[in-house]
């Protein structure tokens, strides 16, 4: 893989890249929240169409030529340059600190183009800027090229939007679904930069169904974390659900921290249960319990983290969900994991819960999702569970929150 340095420019063809490839950005930022975005600009360097700002509230361009998967301080942009309209002349990739902190505080990261080139980035490259223009893809003489920018920018995401000529919606509004592509696009809606961060334990937010929806749609609960925090050594862990037996060993040579995402649930008829990788209890999206664990990131290399999907069109069948994670591999050092859970409900601003405050034990009850008279209420818990040694952390959490399940030690398959 070729290494690109700041200020360098090169043709994509010289890198062996075609029109379709991924741009992966990783800006680790312990204790800070980083928003990663892509701006599709015209020949004047302006965001003439707000639908081409791809970020946490707008995950794809109208025709799908740009799509993004976001997970904490990581983003993977899936590009098809041939599918972009001719009016889009440049794609600028940016990062912005949301809240306190500056770009000086980020760790060692990178912007990677397919499997062809990497542009290294770190906090040492910046001063006290709140945002940075990382790199750009642009047309010149009929060819697409890449420029490694790495330029700090005063102000955060809102200032970047203004710099590129976009228009921000009122803070209280929520983003409208992107309209379908048309030969003559209708006037684009203003961009909503709203995001809900639950700061303190017990903080709540209530979300409503979109006006055009009979339910909440496909709800995504994403967990991401720092896989290899300094000073954290691997350790064998086990725990279990529903009579599972046996122990578990991490593959030889695997280091760092492995967090597992799961949930306990209670359906509207009082039926309790759990969804997690231990015991292959993956759940189901289209049938009861209408909750599905997407996968278990055993390698720690996925930029998408781990995901629970909730069938929000069946939310009337669900009474409550307790989202949790536990350290399957590695010593309990929650501050070092820099974990963050993002709850994405269609037609609502994303809800972010950070695994802060620190705590002992290998288990964390992160948040509750409850059906409150048809509204979806999210409450930050970030409750680190420590058992008395007579029961597993899973069982101790269950007893504290009253789900009433039967537990035995178990392992992943």
pLDDT in tens, 120-171: 999 898 888 999 999 999 999 999 999 999 988 888 899 899 999 988 876 5
The range of the structural domain enclosing residue 281 comes to 196-228+257-401
Residues 285, 155: one domain? no
| Cβ atoms < 10 Å from Cβ of 271 | 12
Residues 153 and 297 in one domain: no
Q: Taking 60 as the threshold, does the pLDDT of residue 305 lie above it? A: yes
Of the pLDDT bands very low, low, confident and very high (cuts 50, 70, 90), residue 256 is low
In a domain, 209, yes or no: yes
Angle at 290 between CA 366 and CA 355, to 5 degrees: 10
**In this structure, is residue 240 part of a structural domain?**
no
Residue 119 and residue 208 in one domain: no
- Are 208 and 351 within one domain? yes
Q: Is 371 within the bounds of a domain?
A: yes
pTM value is 0.69
Tokens linked to 380 = 């930050």
Using one digit for the tens of pLDDT, what is the confidence trace for 327-362? Answer: 876 656 777 777 889 999 988 889 999 888 777 778
Residue 32 confidence (pLDDT) above 90? no
What is the SS3 assignment for 314? helix
Cα–Cα nearest to 37, from 145, 161, 173: 161
CATH code for the domain of 62:
2.60.60.30
Averaged pLDDT for residues 178-206 = 71
Q: Indicate whether 315 belongs to any domain.
A: yes
Please answer whether residues 103 and 126 qualify as being in contact, where contact means their C-beta atoms are separated by less than 8 angstroms. Answer: yes
Compute the average pLDDT of residues 13-33: 92
Query: Among 115, 146, 164, where does a domain finish?
Result: 164
Q: Are residues 263 and 372 in the same domain?
A: yes
Q: What is the CA radius of gyration of the chain?
A: 22
Looking at the structure, tell me whether residues 25 and 124 fall in a common domain.
yes
In a domain, 239, yes or no: no
For residue 185, being part of any structural domain is answered with no
How many CB atoms are located within 10 Å of the residue 377 CB?
A: 15
Note the pLDDT of residue 273: 95
* Same domain as 126, residue 210: no
- pLDDT value for 183: 43
Residue that is written with structure tokens 């070092």 in the block: 336
Please tell me whether residues 21 and 160 are part of one structural domain. yes
* Confidence grade of residue 53 (pLDDT, cut at 50, 70, 90): very high
State which of 116, 145, 164 marks the end of a domain. Answer: 164
- The Cα-based distances of 164 to 14, 58, 262, 329, 330 in angstroms read 29, 17, 40, 44, 43
Q: How far apart are CA 78 and CA 346, in angstroms?
A: 21
Instruction: Please report whether residue 147 resides in a domain.
Output: yes
What gap in Å lies between CA 27 and CA 24, rounded to an integer?
10
The number of folded domains in the chain is 2
Q: Where is average pLDDT lowest: 17-26, 163-172, 193-202?
A: 163-172
Average pLDDT, the chain: 84
- Angle made by CA atoms 271, 272, 277, in degrees to the nearest 5: 135
Domain boundary (145, 164, 183) is at 164
The answer, yes or no, to whether residue 235 has pLDDT greater than 90, is no
How many other CB atoms sit within 10 Å of the CB of residue 223? 25
Residue 245 forms part of a structural domain: no
């Amino acid at each position: 893989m070729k290494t690109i340095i700041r200020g360098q420019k090169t043709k994509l063809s010289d890198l062996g890249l075609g029109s379709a490839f991924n741009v992966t950005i990783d800006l680790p930022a312990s204790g800070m929240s980083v928003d990663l975005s892509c701006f599709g600009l015209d020949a004047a360097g302006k965001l003439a169409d707000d639908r081409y700002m791809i970020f946490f509230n707008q995950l794809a361009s109208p025709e799908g030529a740009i799509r993004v998967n976001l997970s904490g301080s990581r983003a993977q942009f899936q590009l098809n340059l041939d599918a972009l309209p001719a009016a889009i002349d440049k794609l600028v990739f940016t990062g912005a600190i949301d809240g306190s902190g500056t770009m000086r505080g980020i760790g060692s990261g990178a912007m990677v183009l397919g499997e062809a080139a990497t542009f290294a980035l770190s906090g040492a490259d910046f001063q006290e800027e709140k945002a940075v223009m990382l790199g750009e893809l642009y047309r010149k003489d009929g060819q697409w090229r890449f420029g490694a920018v790495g330029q700090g920018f005063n102000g955060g995401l809102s200032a970047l939007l203004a710099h590129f000529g976009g228009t921000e919606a009122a803070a209280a509004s929520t983003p409208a679904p992107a309209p379908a592509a048309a030969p003559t696009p209708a006037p684009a809606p203003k961009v909503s930069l709203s995001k809900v961060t639950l700061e303190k334990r017990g903080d709540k937010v209530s979300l409503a169904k979109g006006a055009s929806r009979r339910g909440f749609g496909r709800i995504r609960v994403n967990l991401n974390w720092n896989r290899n925090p300094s000073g954290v050594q691997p350790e064998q862990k086990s725990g279990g659900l529903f009579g599972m037996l046996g122990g578990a060993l991490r593959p030889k040579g695997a280091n760092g921290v492995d967090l597992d995402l799961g949930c306990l649930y209670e359906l509207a008829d009082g039926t309790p249960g759990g969804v997690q990788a231990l015991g292959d209890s993956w759940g189901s999206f289209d049938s009861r319990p209408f909750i599905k664990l997407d996968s278990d990131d055993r390698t720690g290399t996925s930029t998408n983290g781990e995901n629970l999907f909730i069938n929000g069109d069946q939310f009337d069948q669900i009474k409550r969900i307790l989202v949790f994670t536990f350290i399957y591999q590695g010593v309990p050092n929650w501050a070092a994991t820099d974990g963050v859970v993002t709850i994405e409900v269609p037609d609502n601003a994303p809800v972010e819960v950070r695994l802060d405050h620190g705590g002992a034990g290998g288990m964390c009850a992160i948040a509750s999702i409850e059906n409150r008279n048809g509204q979806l209420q999210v409450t930050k818990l970030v409750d680190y569970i420590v058992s008395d040694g007579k029961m597993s952390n899973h069982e101790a959490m269950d007893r504290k929150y009253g789900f009433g399940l039967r537990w035995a030690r178990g392992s992943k398959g």
